[in-house]
Structure 1
Amino acid sequence: ARRGLLLKGGAVLETLGKITAVAFDKTGTLTEGKPKVTDVLAFGRSERDVLSLAAALETGSSHPLAVAILDRAKREAVPVPPTAAASAVAGKAVTGKVGGLSLFLGSPQAAGDRAALSTVQTDQVKSLNDDGKTVSVLLADNQVVGIIAMRDEPRPDAVAGLKALAAVGIKTIMLTGDNKRTAETIGRTLGIEPRGELLPEDKQRIVREMQKQGEVIAKVGDGINDAPALAAADVGIAMGGGTGVALETADAAVLHGRMLDIARMIELSKATMGNIRQNITIALSLKAVFLVTTILGVTGLWPAIVADTGATVLVTANAMRLLAWRGANANVA
């Protein structure tokens, strides 16, 4: 805990040392989770209207993309009207009513199921995606009225964290609800296999498929959309600052939100299990030696008792070495 690594029980600690693959969420896990609105495109309305309606839908949400929209609206002093019947469709969109308008804010794919995007709008979405931006489409009464693009930069230690896992033979994969182009852009930047346009149930399915292939998999995420996959994985790991649902569902948590701590957590598990095996060997070996020598009359009863107490002291001292454990990546920022 003093190093910001929280594990919920000994079984989790043991399983971590057996991990062969790690699946990461993107937003807030591989990236900083602090996206910024870069583009607001309006169709038949002003950009301020588009931002105002989007902010109304996102009011009260803690999702990083929602926070980005609300921050932009606040910075530009855009009025945020009250929303009625607001609801979220996990991994897809948010909906609600504002001033008699039925609003929908979600991914281009989800929006396309409700309203056809024009060729120009589709090209604009593609161009924004190619720049590594996450795009949301705003519908009003099933008509496209705006496109909002956001970008979230990778964590400074993301590449180092992935390399630390690769160095010990652990495979990595990125599972995200973002479009495939954005996922591929981030994947190339970080050097990780990307899987994009995934719903929460898709992430869960991929985790189970990897388990069927013999992988012992850890899932790392920070949002409510990650909860099903976190629960399905052999070990679910929540990043610090994640939602309450993610933290509750996960078996472990990286409290400081550092990517390198994933590798450190696995390394700590291996070090702890190795220490336990050493202690068992020390204790059983000493007991076996003095049992035999006492039976043969080489040593008396009291030396055997002293040796037994000494074994306890040795085992305890050996276990205490873990308090000074720092790991191979301790000096990597």
Structure 2
Amino acid sequence: MERAIVKTKRGESAGRLLMKLDQIGIRARIAKEEPEAILLAEGEIDETSIKTMPEVDQVTKVKLPFSLASREWHKKDSVVNIAPGISVGGGNVLIIAGPCAVEGKEQIVKTAQSVKRSGALALRGGAYKPRTNPYTFQGLGIEGLALLAEAKKISGLPIVTEIMTPEDIDFMLPHTDILQVGSRNMQNFSLLKALGKVDKPVLLKRGMMATIDEWLQAAEYIMAGGNFNVILCERGIRSFEKRTRNTLDLNAVPLVKSLSHLPVIVDPSHGTGKSELVPSMSLAALAAGADGLIVEVHPNPEEAVSDGDQSLDLEEFDKLMKSIKRLLSVMPEKTLEGSKCSVAA
């Protein structure tokens, strides 16, 4: 059984093309409808005969199981737009910073204002927290979302926050710019399918015990539903090493970028579990080709209700951003939007 991705010409009927493909024994389904339809086709694929159909612009045979996410079909890096003037991928670097959990107005607003001054382009903060222990802090919920919205209004930073279940999508959409799927939910297929119908970017973290192929196939679930705005996040995998919380797999960055056109960012906070390792691994991730970082930052890490050990304080994050700008100044293929990235920065 061969598989192919078929792209229609702008304005052509995907429904009519489906019928034509069915007539020659090819099963197809629409993955995305506008502006040009993208169809996933299975059967005995004759590229030449399909290309002669007037509705068809492009036919690409694919072998990898993550067809839509693969470079077999989409050779160029994808660029995901976050907010006006802010994007990730295609050379655009996205730095996301903020606390593990939203704890109160003063904490989240102070963090937002500070990380923006330092050069962050988006604010992270958990309103709903999946925790290993059921008795630990689970987040402020709806109150946390309201505080994130207030921090956005004051700072102007777009919001990244985690979504736990499909049922949460409707009321979370107005309060977030990027919906984050955490490590534990990477293979929550009901959630992934639901996010495929959402018109907002999805930040998909790698499962702590997931292979690269499993991770990319999780992204495929979202894309198969029609949402192509997927950002991949390497956040460390579980190994035999006990000195760090996880093992940050920086091999994954260039490897995934060779397999997929999707943007890849790195979470050095969860990847190490130690704040003193975060700056080094942040720079290493960008040097390896990552399209961005998501870093935990807290005004007083020693008082944080969760993940204080892996959080930078505001001054440490500012110092890291200066190092990032110096690094990017010698990487002409990368741009931190809103910054000149000069060596003197």
TM surpasses 0.5? no
TM class by shorter-chain length? under 0.3
* TM-score for the superposition, normalised by structure 1: 0.25
Tell me: higher relative CO, structure 1 or 2? Use CA pairs within 8 A at least 6 residues apart. 1
> Which structure has greater helix proportion?
1
Q: Which has the greater radius of gyration?
A: 1
* TM-score for the superposition, normalised by structure 2: 0.25
